[in-house]
Structure 1
Amino acid sequence: MFIIVVGGGKLGTYLARALLEAHHEVVVVEKIERKAQVLAQTLNAEIAQVGDGCDPLVLEEAGAGRADVVIADTGDDEDNLVICLVTKKRFSKPRTIARVNNPKNKQIFEELGIDSVVSGTEIVMNMVAEEVNRARV
């Protein structure tokens, strides 16, 4: 599969590495040039593209027209929503996955048609609650 990851932070880097190890074709779009260079060195691959993932031209250059999946993994919920909506409207084919930093935004993303919405905060909260409940037994 061809997958575009928008956001080259810690999570985006781990995600890109895992996808490459699973033999997927990956492009990472990162706003900050230095971060993109570090990402390419870390992964030992020329997969990073510098640009704003909210810009349809940047997404097009990254290959969104042929992508199977576009993952919006920036630290900003609004950017992640824009990335997914632009992908849906402009390129129509790719499945969209968005990371939300504020769990309250999850429902909005789902209502707007984002295919999959992941809240790390919600996942951790649920795991902690489960462990607390297990400790009570």
Structure 2
Amino acid sequence: MKVLIGGAGRLGTQIAQVLSAAHNEVILVEQDDDRLAELAALPRVRLVAGDACDSSLLEHAGALTCDLVISATGRDEDNLVISLLAKRQFGVGRVAARVNDSENAWLFDQQWGVDVAVPAATPLISLIEEATGATDTVALLRLSKAGVEVIETAITEHSRAAGHTLSEIPLPSGTVVATVVRDGRPTVPGPGVRLQPGDELLLVSHEATEQEIHAAFQ
């Protein structure tokens, strides 16, 4: 599935991480250059600089071939514009929008191109469930709701972890390796698994930062 997300705040970024971990093609649009710089190392997510309310930018980003657009900015007016453009101009099959102010909820309907309206206090669990039918993705989103970060890191020939078993790698406190993807297939992350270049790891943590986790492996 090809997904475009407007807004790289905490919610938009977490959704991008989870959907990309589930091997979807993810495009994340953000106009804050500093925020984009922070996300430069986000694996398997295409970052696009600019305003997602700009139809020409959306077209350049690939909205015409998207299966799902999620407008997740902190401004309701922007989320409505993104939704309307996605549905009316680009014919996107599924459009979801974050509702920041409950008083504006009545606006988020089919007339504005919104298929699924999600209150700001609720992560987009219902959206992902409807759009993908992937229970594993929903489970990861529920971890995010509980304050658990879902983080990916890839092993290269230059990674310090290459050639070492998982038991030999000191992980930050509160961090667990959820799976190791090798040759496109997930493997059980037992302590004896020896990491190889090309491996992709999916970790969950309720304490460590993304930088701390990458430092442990890279």
Mapping of residues 43-122 of structure 1, within 5 Å? 43-45=42-44, 47-110=46-109, 112=111, 113-121=113-121
1:55-85 residue CA offsets vs partner (Å, 9 max, x unmatched): 0011101100000001000000000000000
Number of residue pairs matched?
Answer: 122
- Which residue of 2 is the match for residue 5 of structure 1? 5
- Which residue of 1 is the match for residue 212 of structure 2? none
1:105-130 residue CA offsets vs partner (Å, 9 max, x unmatched): 12211252410000033x49xxxxxx
Q: Conserved in 1, the CA contact under 8 Å of 2:97 and 2:114?
A: yes
Q: Conserved in 2, the CA contact under 8 Å of 1:6 and 1:71?
A: yes
1:27-63 residue CA offsets vs partner (Å, 9 max, x unmatched): 000011221121222x234511001000001110110
Runs of 4+, deviation exceeding 4 Å: none
- Which residue of 2 is the match for residue 25 of structure 1? 25
- Which residue of 2 is the match for residue 132 of structure 1? none
Q: Aligned equivalents of 2:51 and 2:62: distance in 1?
A: 14
Q: Aligned equivalents of 1:26 and 1:46: distance in 2?
A: 5
- What is the Cα deviation at residue 26 of structure 1? 0.1
- Which residue of 1 is the match for residue 187 of structure 2? none
Unaligned runs of 5+ in 2: 124-218
SS at match of 1:74: coil
Q: 1:60 to 1:85 in 2, by over 3 A?
A: same
Unaligned runs of 5+ in 1: 125-137
* Matched AA of 2:11: L
Q: Aligned equivalents of 2:40 and 2:15: distance in 1?
A: 13
Q: Could you say which structure has the higher helix fraction?
A: 1
Mapping of residues 122-137 of structure 1, within 5 Å? 123=122
- Which residue of 2 is the match for residue 128 of structure 1? none
Percent of pairs identical after alignment? Answer: 42
TM-score for the superposition, normalised by structure 1? 0.82
Q: Aligned equivalents of 2:104 and 2:57: distance in 1?
A: 25
- Which residue of 2 is the match for residue 129 of structure 1? none
